[in-house]
Amino acid sequence: MNIWINYAIMLKWGENMKLAIDAMSGDLGSRIVVDACLKFVEKHPNVKLLVTGKQEELTQLNNYSNVEIIDARDVVAMTDSVLGVRRKKESSLVKALMLSSDNKADGVVSCGSTGAYYTAAMLFGHRLENVEKSCLMAQLPTVNGKGTCLLDVGANASNTASQLESFAIMGSVYASAINHIEHPTVALLNIGTEDHKGDEVHTEAYRLLSANKNIHFIGNIEGRDLLLGEVDVIVTDGFSGNIALKSMEGTAIILMKLMKESLMSDFKGKIGALLAKKNLYSLKDRFDYKSVGGALMMGFDKAIVKAHGGSDAVAFLSAMELTYTMVKENVVEKMKEGMKNENS
């Protein structure tokens, strides 16, 4: 019976899926969103795109029957407060989220500021039942190529032990559905691998995760091991997760810069760089955020994806593809079921 239900769901999404696209909130404006949408509709002609933004900047999309342009004259700024976001109901970001809130869209993509996007999602979106706090999840590139899910990476400044446990459940569901891992391993980011390490929140979280039969918890993990790829899901509070994520991004940028300076410093280095050019670009691509898709706002009743603020068309298209996959694979419903089982 479940096979036929899943088959029916796949048919439904293939024919009726609708994605809301915020075209105005990124650092590079609407141009990159238009380019991404043009590529997306060619690949997915049965998916309808509801694109919010200034109509005069989106005219290239007018000729597509599966694209509807919804005029939005305002833009939510990075500095906008909660009150500011609430007042900007005519903004492209808020209108996109309102479409999902009104069940007119199955997923939302935006490259607006994380704070404003999360605030708008909390104000105008709907959290899943039994989810006390939603969170932001990023897919990290790893040495072994498997990738690792890290959550929370900045939605919350602090979290309780029970909230970290719910993050672990949602992360496990995602790793299973999207990364196709049968029994995803889960670890808790901490200052040591011993079970007694950390403050009260972390020791209590360790106890809860160890006792939870619905996840495969393997213990604590230290920051130096995040990119090894030995764990499928890593759970942490938003404050620590954001620092870890930004530290890794900064380290990668600095290493690439130093490598380039070193190779270009003399003739032998330049010859070596020329010979290794293909390999160096391959290494760069493995750790390029453009191929990841974006960060996910977990715990809502729709697929909500946050693309990088500086996304180009390639990165934004990856975010759209990730949203499409989440809806197609029915990830939100699986998370809902996972949280229901946890509280039954």
pLDDT in tens, 240-264: 998 998 888 788 788 878 888 888 8
Task: Answer yes or no: is 60 within a domain.
Answer: yes
Do 258 and 146 share a structural domain? yes
Task: Check whether 6 has a pLDDT greater than 60.
Answer: no
Kindly provide the residue ranges of all beta strands, DSSP E only, lying in 116-183, ordered along the sequence: 135-140, 148-151
Task: Check whether 121 has a pLDDT greater than 50.
Answer: yes
Q: Which domain holds residue 176?
A: 132-293
> Burial of 132 by CB count in 10 Å (0-12 exposed, 13-18 middle, 19+ buried)?
exposed
Task: Answer yes or no: is 323 within a domain.
Answer: no
Long-range CB contacts (within 8 A, 24+) of 72-75 = 72/24, 75/24, 75/25
Do 277 and 305 share a structural domain? no
pLDDT at res. 290: 55
Angstrom distance (rounded) from CA 53 to CA 300: 23
Instruction: List, for residues 272-319, the tens digit of each pLDDT value.
Output: 778 777 777 776 666 665 555 678 899 999 999 998 888 889 889 999
Task: Answer yes or no: is 335 within a domain.
Answer: no
Do 142 and 175 share a structural domain? yes
Do 273 and 241 share a structural domain? yes
Strand-pairing partners, residue 107, are 19, 303
Task: Answer yes or no: is 341 within a domain.
Answer: no
pLDDT at res. 271: 85
| Contact partners, residue 218, CB within 8 Å, separation at least 6 | 185, 186, 187, 231
pLDDT range class, residue 169, cuts 50, 70, 90? very high
Helix axes 313-328, 331-342, angle to 10 degrees: 50
pTM: 0.83
Do 64 and 199 share a structural domain? no
Task: Answer yes or no: is 334 within a domain.
Answer: no
Do 282 and 203 share a structural domain? yes
Contact 48, 17 (CB under 8 A): yes
The residue behind tokens 């509807």 is: 68
Do 139 and 127 share a structural domain? no
Mean per-residue pLDDT, 171-184: 90
**Looking at residue 246, which CATH number applies to its domain?**
3.40.718.10
Task: Answer yes or no: is 177 within a domain.
Answer: yes
Do 141 and 286 share a structural domain? yes
Angstrom distance (rounded) from CA 173 to CA 91: 32
Task: Answer yes or no: is 333 within a domain.
Answer: no
Angstrom distance (rounded) from CA 107 to CA 97: 9
Structural domain count of the chain: 2
Do 228 and 215 share a structural domain? yes
Task: Answer yes or no: is 151 within a domain.
Answer: yes
Do 125 and 169 share a structural domain? no
Do 93 and 82 share a structural domain? yes
Nearest to 152 by CA among 247, 243, 278, 45: 243
Do 159 and 286 share a structural domain? yes
Name the token pair of 5: 């239900």
Distance of CA 322 to the CA centre of its chain: 8
Name the token pair of 166: 């719910």
CA count, 13 A, side-chain hemisphere, 133: 21
